[in-house]
Structure 1
Amino acid sequence: MNRGNKILKVENIDKNINNKQILQIRKYSVIKGKFNFIIGANGSGKTSLLNILSMIDNDYQGTIYYKGKIISKKERNCELRRRFSVIWQEPYLYRGNVYHNIALPLKLRGFNKKIIHKKVKNISQKIEIDDLLEQSVYTLSGGERQKVSIARALVTEPEILFVDEATTNLDEESINFFNSHFADLVTEEMTVVMVSHDRRQIKELADRIAYLKKGKILSSQAREEFDFSQLGAGICSSIEEIV
């Protein structure tokens, strides 16, 4: 597999909210099979860019390419988006138990009960929540809720996984679990686009880093080539620990 292919690309992206420019991006590419990190200070437009890349947000000007083909707004339908999964900073779980939440995207994709059961058991064991499958989501801790959210995102084996600061509100134990296990949970064929402030995640996971400032990408490079000295305070609390 050629792991240098551009699976997603955007050009001339302009995003405005209430007449305020949120994003102005001339060009950005997501490389297939890589951990593509997007970093920047709060309010720099990271989540807005993630929403456009994942085709959740269609209210912008510009062009998006998927596997080299221009994707019109009409083509950004459920069928295409089902190839993607998103892990949000604040996990949203549906009423019911943990099993139901993880199984739901498989049901929506038409898998039969036997395959659903096998896939749910497999991912829940990897994330160490198999003992919670019959438990109501309303009884879960914050860390457990995020683990369920991660399992639900991964169970479909998405082509592209989008991650929006998934560890921001987690306790230290849950953060350590995520950082230690996440790379092992992602298959070789999967592409990851991750927004993060976590220096350990950047150090251990990033293949490529895009630096976003005031809605513009100032640099997008392989991690080994990235100049961390350009980052301001608040982006990574200890730059020397990354480099």
Structure 2
Amino acid sequence: MNASSTPLLTVRGLSRSIGARRLFDIGELAFPRATAIVLTGQNGAGKTTLLRMIAGLEPAPGATVHWTDAHASARSAPLAPLPRELRERIAYLHQHPYLFRTSVRENIAYGLRARGLTRDEMARRVDEALAWAGVSHLKDTAPERLSGGEVQRVALARAKVLEPDLMLLDEPTSSLDGQAREQVIALVRELAEEGRTVVMICHDRELINLPGVVRWKLGDGVLDTHHR
């Protein structure tokens, strides 16, 4: 799935401790382009903390991020606060997504409103995202009336509509079973096939065994990016 040998972005000096315990200490972490990655490890290893730091949702003292901008110029900055250019290229999906108490359509449109899109362009992209996630029939439904699988699909559509280069998913199928789980797995597969970089925390063997998936394992403070 790699489209280029040049990383999408690289993070250096990423570490986190809890008291005297070192969760992880990662000298350099490169995120390849157009790649599906599963991040595994025991509970408490720091997987969610790691992804939240990359997404700019957790402090990351001393860490730096390096990337190539739209003009092919090399850029670097402290990871926290996350540079605005990267905020628009990275989407994080919580294990238990929060949806605003409006409607499915308004939830998906939320992130687009701040980007100054025309009303027609926003409507087009929201309609495409609704159809992609298979929730067009729920567009006027209040979130509290959705099933767990529907909430996950709406949350995926809300992230996808922003057209991020890097999607960070925390256990996207952990609370699902049966058809709901299969539907979410199919959407995750499509995201990777579209050429996005998708990093998923998961223990779901079907996701781990998707063709072309790269496996990273976090344990004992070390991130193994060549795990087999």
TM-score range, shorter-chain basis? Answer: 0.7 to 0.9
1:220 equivalent in alignment to 2:219: no
Q: Which residue is equivalent to 1:80?
A: 86
Change over 3 Å in CA distance of 1:180–1:172 after alignment to 2 = same
1:50 equivalent in alignment to 2:51: yes
3-state secondary structure, aligned to 1:109: coil
Q: Which residue is equivalent to 1:240?
A: none
Q: Which amino acid aligns with 1:24?
A: D
1:52-201 aligned within 5 A:
52-67=53-68, 69-73=75-79, 76-186=82-192, 188-201=194-207
**How far apart, CA to CA, are the structure 2 residues paired with 1:198 and 1:64?**
30
Change over 3 Å in CA distance of 1:29–1:136 after alignment to 2 = same
Q: Which residue is equivalent to 1:211?
A: 217
Mapped contact 2:56–2:81 kept (Cα < 8 A)? no
Equivalent pairs, count: 222
Structure 2 unaligned residues grouped into runs of 5+: 69-73
Deviation for aligned residue 1:64? 2.7
Mapped contact 1:97–1:133 kept (Cα < 8 A)? yes
Mapped contact 1:39–1:195 kept (Cα < 8 A)? yes
3-state secondary structure, aligned to 1:114: helix
Deviation for aligned residue 1:59? 3.5
Q: Which amino acid aligns with 1:214?
A: D
**How far apart, CA to CA, are the structure 2 residues paired with 1:100 and 1:69?**
34
3-state secondary structure, aligned to 2:45: coil
**How far apart, CA to CA, are the structure 2 residues paired with 1:170 and 1:74?**
33
1:12 equivalent in alignment to 2:5: no
3-state secondary structure, aligned to 2:12: strand
**How far apart, CA to CA, are the structure 2 residues paired with 1:140 and 1:185?**
23
Change over 3 Å in CA distance of 1:157–1:141 after alignment to 2 = same
Mapped contact 1:105–1:156 kept (Cα < 8 A)? yes
**How far apart, CA to CA, are the structure 1 residues paired with 2:38 and 2:91?**
16
Q: Which runs of 4+ in 1 moved over 4 A?
A: none
Mapped contact 2:24–2:221 kept (Cα < 8 A)? yes
**How far apart, CA to CA, are the structure 1 residues paired with 2:111 and 2:17?**
32
**How far apart, CA to CA, are the structure 2 residues paired with 1:176 and 1:2?**
27
**How far apart, CA to CA, are the structure 2 residues paired with 1:47 and 1:206?**
23
Percent identity over paired residues: 27
Deviation for aligned residue 1:211? 1.2
Mapped contact 1:12–1:25 kept (Cα < 8 A)? yes
Deviation for aligned residue 1:186? 4.5
Q: Which amino acid aligns with 1:193?
A: V
**How far apart, CA to CA, are the structure 1 residues paired with 2:4 and 2:19?**
39
Deviation for aligned residue 1:206? 4.9
| Bigger mean CA offset, 20-29 vs 126-135 | 20-29
Change over 3 Å in CA distance of 1:53–1:91 after alignment to 2 = same
Q: Which amino acid aligns with 2:225?
A: S
